[in-house]
Structure 1
Amino acid sequence: MPDLPYRTKAGEPLLEADHIDDHAKGGRDYPSVMIALCPNCHRNKTHGQDGPALAERLRVVAASLHGRWQKLHPPR
């Protein structure tokens, strides 16, 4: 994904795993409610003024990505 603004020293995208609902406050530890974010977006979602609205948008994205992954990897 060339449009990601941050890169590791190896040139890979710099992403952080985020629990859309704060894990420390009881958020579930399931892939369907987790998403990878760049450090600034992660901080904004957790501490920013528009964090709650961003969390709701991310919830939809995470659920969609998880649904697509499940179709490609059905349970055995």
Structure 2
Amino acid sequence: MSSLSLTLLIFGSMLALMALRVPIAVSMFAAGAIGYVTQTGWAPFASFLNTQAFARFAGYDLSVIPLFILMG
């Protein structure tokens, strides 16, 4: 299967999920996960999820924004 046809198939499945009223974040995550797994495999995908989940919550870069909103 060519790269273009795989991309169109995954994009179509993402649109189909949105048409079935699945939340946009879930349908985009599913499409991205399927694309990532087809390109690299399951082990790199699992490692990516493991490291990114920690990296997103370990940094306090964007924590200033809600604090400024709460301060008014």
TM-score by length of 2: 0.34
Q: Which has the higher strand share?
A: 1
Asked which structure has the greater CA Rg, the reply is 2
TM-score by length of 1: 0.33
Q: Which has the higher helix share?
A: 2
